[in-house]
Amino acid sequence: MHIPDGYLGPQTYVTLSVAMVPIWTVAAIRVKKTLKTKQVPLMALGAAFSFVIMMFNVPVLGGSTGHAVGATLIAIILGPWAATISVSIALVIQALLFGDGGITALGANCFNMAFIMPFTGYYLYRLLAGDSEKVNRRVISAGIAAYVSIVVGAIFAGVEFGLQPLLAHSASGAPLYAPYPLKVAVGAMFVEHVVFFGWVEAFATMGVVAALARQDSALLAMKPAAKPLRWLWGSFAILVLLTPIGALAKGTAWGEWSTEQLQARLGDAAPSGLQRLNGIWAGAVPDYAPAFVKNPLVGYLVAAIIGATLAVGITWGIARLLARKDDRPSTPHKSA
């Protein structure tokens, strides 16, 4: 679902980038009012989890791949606004450092995965789970919410792809950016996520929610952890060590092709605007492959460690600035 450079024209990527500015502003204001100092490590861990879980590529029929995002899970634990910030940080690191997702399309990717997904997932979860204390209901509600949220996010991405031939084309009618019409783009994104990747998102979310319900149910009530988070950090470390599994998946996600790959699919030259923008930014560590590591699986693991460390550090710093310094409930001022 990471839209690369060149697939969106300026009418779309500028609009969505501008739209994210007030969203991030409101997110900071809302998080500043609700985030407690004790929740700062959890928010940092959420950003790192989103970064790492997106490295677990899952192959599907037809040679495509996809992944979970973790946005609904973070929203369930910390609220949708905190999830917006956490997932946005993960996406920025992916784009700037690893060239995963375009620089021009960063606003669109954040809109789809860091805004649409957590809000869709959070409110659907609240609707389905209600105030129930039953673990099974919470777990199933989280799975359904996560499944629906990634499908909705994929539909938004498909619409953004599919609008390009209508918004930007040559005098002869040839598309300048993403070449596939709405019917094809939305259909491809919808089917892949309904049939395959929605289940990946759902089961990943359900697994973590079930573990949290057993270990520290306070987290599912959007409260600070009742127990030390050592077990959660330990579980995350194991997840990081498993990331080379994601490097084994062959193929490229739909709509994330290079110019050469797209030309091979079209049997013709790629659109001129797409050729101009595609690949303008590769990142310092392109494709999660550090130049100083020869083994690709080890390199993928090193990239996961680097990215996760940055996600934790950056999010921790931002969350510390935003978090309420005094966790005690405020008392009304009494006049003399």
118-142: pLDDT as tens digits: 999 999 999 999 988 899 999 999 9
* Residue 220 clears pLDDT 80, i.e. is over it: yes
Q: Please count the structural domains in the chain.
A: 1
Assigned domain for 330 exists: no
As a whole number, mean pLDDT of residues 80-97 equals 98
Mean pLDDT of the chain, nearest integer: 94
CATH at 131? 1.10.1760.20
The DSSP-derived string for 82-114 is HHHHHHHHHHHHHHHHH--S-STTHHHHHIIII
Q: Is 124 exposed, middle or buried (0-12, 13-18, 19+ CB in 10 A)?
A: buried
User: For position 262, what pLDDT does the model report?
Assistant: 95
User: For position 247, what pLDDT does the model report?
Assistant: 94
Assigned domain for 111 exists: yes
Owning domain of residue 41: 10-253+271-322
Q: Say which residue the tokens 């089961």 belong to.
A: 203
Assigned domain for 173 exists: yes
Q: What percent of the chain has pLDDT over 90?
A: 90
Assigned domain for 246 exists: yes
Assigned domain for 60 exists: yes
Rounded distance, CA 73 to CA 205, Å?
A: 6
Assigned domain for 333 exists: no
Assigned domain for 264 exists: no
Q: Is 37 exposed, middle or buried (0-12, 13-18, 19+ CB in 10 A)?
A: middle
Backbone angles phi, psi at 34, to 5 degrees: -115, -30
User: For position 250, what pLDDT does the model report?
Assistant: 87
CB 68 within 8 A of CB 249: no
Assigned domain for 261 exists: no
